[in-house]
Each structure stands twice: as structure tokens, then as C-alpha cells.
Amino acid sequence: MSEKKVVGRNAAIVLGTLCIILVVGLIGTMISYASVINEKDNTIASLNSEISSLQDQVADLQDQITNLQNEVANLQDLSPILINQMEIINHTTNINGLGTVRISWFNFYSTSNGTKLGVAAAIVNNSSVPAENVSLIVNVLFYNYITEHSTNLTIEIERLDIGDWCMLQRSTEVPEGEGWHFSVDFTLYVNGVETDHQSIGCY
């Protein structure tokens, strides 16, 4: 009778030990899986953050592409006018500004949305020597009945050979609001010496 009790007790101890081992193993497995799941959640959150950042970059690039396409369209609209004016330049360079570096043509134009003002000028070397260190200073003055806003644009050319000409273009932002008038002054320098000055305005 006592032997049966001992055998039953030993069996109970073995079963209890097995249960404890299984419970410990199960808890360890659950902790391990919880750690893996937490790590994956962190990885997913990080990837989502990177995706959001990349989407923002894509949106910014798309905006830049749209702006560049608008500028290209504006220049394409302007190109026939510039071509016609350049033909006039070719006919007038021989009589306009003989013996020096001059502004043979100048003009202005607005972008289609009216947010920028573009200026353009053609420089021709009618002197007997190449022109070094040519600078065109463009002063754009916006004004209304309340205030005024001035912007200087500098365009530099290292060398302009005898008889050569060059078309120069720049643009500047139009101040916000309505009712703006503007005037544009073109001043040409060669080696720091003023050789020509022209003005145009919209009043």
C-alpha cells in the first residue's frame, strides 16, 4: 500500500514538474513573441514615417516641375517676340552705338500668372577691341501711391568679342497686391566704366 502511495507521489511530482516546465516555456515564448512583435511594430512605424517623408519630397518635386513647366511655357510664348526683336537687332547693330559697347535692344514682359516681371536686353560690341568684364545692372522699381520697392539685377559677361552680341534675361518677383507701376533702368559697364544707359517703364 505504501509503495502505491510512493509511486503516485512520484508521478504527481513528475507531472507537476512537467507542467511547470511547460508553463515557463510558454511564458518565455510569449515574451519572445511580444518582443518580436514590438520590434516589428517599431520597424513598421519607421517605414511609415519614411514613406510619409518621401511622399512630401515627391509633392515638392512635383510643385517644382509645375513651376518650371510654367516658366518654359512663358518663355515659349515670349520666344516669337524675342526672335522678331533679335532680327531688328541684326539690322541696327551697325548704326546703333558705333565705336563702343551698347545696349542695342531692351524690353520687359510679365509671366502669365503676373507674379514675375522678366527683363531682357541685347548687348552688342561695336568697338574695335574685345570688351572685357562687361556688366549690365538692371534696376527694377515697383511703386504705387503708398510705397515703392526696388530690386537690382546684375548680369556679367567675361568677354564680348568685336561685332558679337549677347541676349541677357532675368526675372524678379512682383510685390504682392495690386496697383503696382514699374520702371526699369539698364546701365552697362565695361571694366567699371559706364558705356550706355537705357530706361523703360509702365505708368
Mark which of 37, 62, 92 sits at the end of a domain. Answer: 92
Mark which of 92, 118, 150 sits at the end of a domain. Answer: 92
In whole angstroms, what is the distance from residue 31 CA to residue 47 CA?
24
Residues spanned by the domain of 50: 1-92
On whether both 152 and 198 belong to a single domain, the answer is yes
pLDDT, mean of residues 124-149: 88
On whether both 193 and 108 belong to a single domain, the answer is yes
User: Grid coordinates standing for 83?
Assistant: 526672335
Position 93 scores a pLDDT of 41
> What's the order of all strands across the beta sheet hosting 101-110?
101-110, 116-125, 165-173
Position 96 scores a pLDDT of 43
pLDDT digits (tens, 9 = 90+) for 2-20: 555 555 666 667 777 777 8
User: Grid coordinates standing for 43?
Assistant: 520597424
Domain count, the chain: 2
On whether both 86 and 101 belong to a single domain, the answer is no
pLDDT digits (tens, 9 = 90+) for 155-173: 888 888 988 888 888 888 8
Mark which of 39, 70, 92 sits at the end of a domain. Answer: 92
> What pTM value is reported for the model?
0.50
